[in-house]
Amino acid sequence: MAYSVDVYAAAKRVLEERRTAAERLLSLKKADVYAKIPEIKQLDSDLCKNMAALSVLILRGGKNLDCALEEMKAENEKIRQKKASLLLENNLPEDYLEPQYTCKNCGDLGRKNGILCSCYKEICKAEAQKELSKSSGASGCSFENFDLSYYADNGAEDGTNPRRKMNNYYNFCVTYAKTFTENSASIVMIGKTGLGKTHLSLSIAKIVADKGFGVVYAPAQKMVSNLERERFSGSASDVFQKKYSECDLLIIDDLGAEFQNSFSVSAIGNLINERLYENRPTIISTNLSGKELADRYSERIASRILGEYRKLFFVGEDIRFLKNR
Ligand SMILES: Nc1ncnc2c1ncn2[C@@H]1O[C@H](COP(=O)(O)OP(=O)(O)OP(=O)(O)O)[C@@H](O)[C@H]1O
Ligand SMILES: [Mg+2]
Ligand SMILES: [Zn+2]
């Protein structure tokens, strides 16, 4: 799970909010119980004193430490039992004054004994899904609503039949998403406008993000402008650079539609190179032909993409147009 720093920061906030809510609820309950059952207030204060004394004992050490600790533990246990029975007598559950954390395992700390808790992984995943749906404009694109009947069922059976070809691509994408790993192949989707490239890449993105991988989607233009702002803002921040180069799956949508200058060409070229070098999968969608890719980003980059990515040549008629007919 290689998520961006934003995702980890958001997950940390969620944990903090959960802890604060549990503690706030606990102090409300305490105030209520102390007013009704003052004896419990006294017992809590005894427990506090014992805890403080316990710390002193441990700090001091000494040869009778073990014995003293055992005594104090037994004393504390007695107080706890007394508290529990008082609560029960007053028709309250015996753990009424225990903090009710969302995660019983880690007390909403996100880790236990130095190991990440499963709740933390779940929170990261949910935050990453939120980020993905924000960046892709909550698209609603999925494998379920990818309709093959938009592609003509004509032509030869040798692969020039558009529906057959797109059906193969669709199956490839479904399998790719379901079996995704950090070292899956990269994909380039090439074709005219409105053929379903963005639709299929976002469908893959959703499944891969649901599996707990860090997926970043960005139209090339947005990616370049984020990198450009970061690079020339004068700050030392490299949040976007890291996010694009280190995520588990990067989706560069509409490559070639970005405003072209020497920065955009080298920023995109470097990202593509770096991710290939690190064996990190990337999905590119583009309207550009092989020659146009070479003219724009250099022969070297074009040959990397066309030579090392799995190539899907989309066919058919503009589905935006077909849908509005
Ligand atoms: N097979 C399909 N079934 C249902 N809807 C589809 C299908 N393919 C595309 N669409 C829808 O048609 C619209 C255009 O598709 P999409 O954006 O994926 O095209 P594109 O190939 O990425 O085009 P562009 O090159 O202009 O970016 C979207 O609203 C998309 O959800
Ligand atoms: Mg598109
Ligand atoms: Zn937990």
* CA–CA gap between residue 84 and residue 77 (Å, rounded): 10
Q: What is the pLDDT of residues 276-308, one digit of tens each?
A: 999 999 999 999 999 999 999 999 999 999 999
Q: Give the model's pLDDT for residue 157.
A: 63
* Averaged confidence pLDDT in the chain: 93
Averaged pLDDT for residues 116-140: 92
Q: Give the model's pLDDT for residue 128.
A: 94
Per-residue 3-state assignment (H helix, E strand, C coil) for 176-220: HHHCCCCCCCCEEEECCCCCCHHHHHHHHHHHHHHCCCCEEEEEH
Averaged pLDDT for residues 1-6: 88
Residue appearing with tokens 């995660």: 103
CB 271 within 8 A of CB 244: yes
Inter-CA distances, 143 with 159, 170, 268, 270, 317, Å: 22, 8, 28, 31, 19
Averaged pLDDT for residues 244-255: 97
Averaged pLDDT for residues 71-85: 91
Compute, in angstroms, the gap from residue 273 CA to the centroid of ligand 2.
22
Residue appearing with tokens 């074009």: 302
Span of 36-50, 53-67, 269-283 with lowest mean pLDDT? 53-67
Question: Ligand 1, atom 17: nearest CA belongs to which residue?
Answer: 198
Averaged pLDDT for residues 203-228: 96
Q: Give the model's pLDDT for residue 67.
A: 83
pLDDT at 158 over 90: no
- Whether ligand 1 lies within 6 angstroms of the CB of 142 is answered as no
Nearest to 217 by CA among 244, 190, 193: 244
pLDDT at 61 over 80: no
- Whether ligand 1 lies within 6 angstroms of the CB of 150 is answered as yes
Compute, in angstroms, the gap from residue 323 CA to the centroid of ligand 1.
10
Which two tokens mark 143?
């494998």
35 dihedral zone (left: phi>0; alpha: psi -120 to 50; beta): alpha
pLDDT band at 139 (very low <50, low <70, confident <90, very high): confident
Averaged pLDDT for residues 27-34: 95
pLDDT band at 156 (very low <50, low <70, confident <90, very high): low
Domains of the chain: 5-116 (no CATH), 137-323 (3.40.50.300)
Q: Give the model's pLDDT for residue 107.
A: 96
